[in-house]
Amino acid sequence: MRYLSLPILLLAGACAGSPAAVPQADVAAKQFPPPSAGAGALYVYRSGLMGFARPVDVALSGGPSAQLDYNTFIRVDAPPGSVEVQCTVGGETGRSIVALQPGETRFVDVAMTPGFPNPGCEVAEAAPDAGRAAVTARRLVQPQ
C-alpha cells in the first residue's frame, strides 16, 4: 500500500493552482447571477484532460489572474469593453479578446495544447449553453 500512496501524494502535490473558493461562493457562481451594475460577467474555465496535473496561468487585462487546475473556473465582473484573456503554460502563451457589454455574461474556455518541448494553451470564447454546462461541472477558485 505504501508504494501506491506515494505516487498519489506526489500527483496531488503537483496540483498547486489558485485556492478553492468557499462552497457557498461556488454554489452562488453556478446560479449565474447578473453582474454588478454597469459591468459584465466573465466566466473563465479550464477544459480538457491534457496536463491535468499542471495549472494554467490565466490573466485578464487590467484585472485579476488565477492558476486554473483541471476542472476549475473563475468568475470576474469587469467593466464593459474589450477584455484580453491570456493563458500561459511553460512560457507558451495564448490569448483572445472578449467584447463585454454591461449586464452581459460571457464564457471563455482555456485549454492546454500539445507542443514540443513544452505544452501550450489556447483561449476561445464558448457559446452560452456550452459555457454554463462547463462551469456547472467545475469548481470555483479565487482569482488573485
* pLDDT tens digits along 75-95: 999 999 999 999 999 888 999
Residue 19 pairs in a beta bridge with none
Please return the burial class of 37, using the count of CB atoms within 10 Å of its CB with bins 0-12, 13-18 and 19+: exposed
How far is residue 144's CA from residue 130's CA, in Å, rounded to a whole number? 26
Mean pLDDT over each residue of the chain, to the nearest integer: 87
What sign has the CA pseudo-torsion 116, 120, 124, 128? positive
**Per-domain boundaries in the chain:** 16-140
The pLDDT of residue 134 is 97
Hey, what CATH topology would domain 16-140 get?
Immunoglobulin-like (2.60.40)
What's this model's pTM, rounded to 2 decimal places?
Answer: 0.86
How do residues 104-116 score in pLDDT, each as one tens digit?
999 999 998 887 7
- Residue 35 has, within 13 A of its CA and on its CB side, a CA count of 20
Task: Give the sheet arrangement for strand 139-140, strand by strand.
Answer: 120-126, 105-113, 40-47, 72-78, 139-140
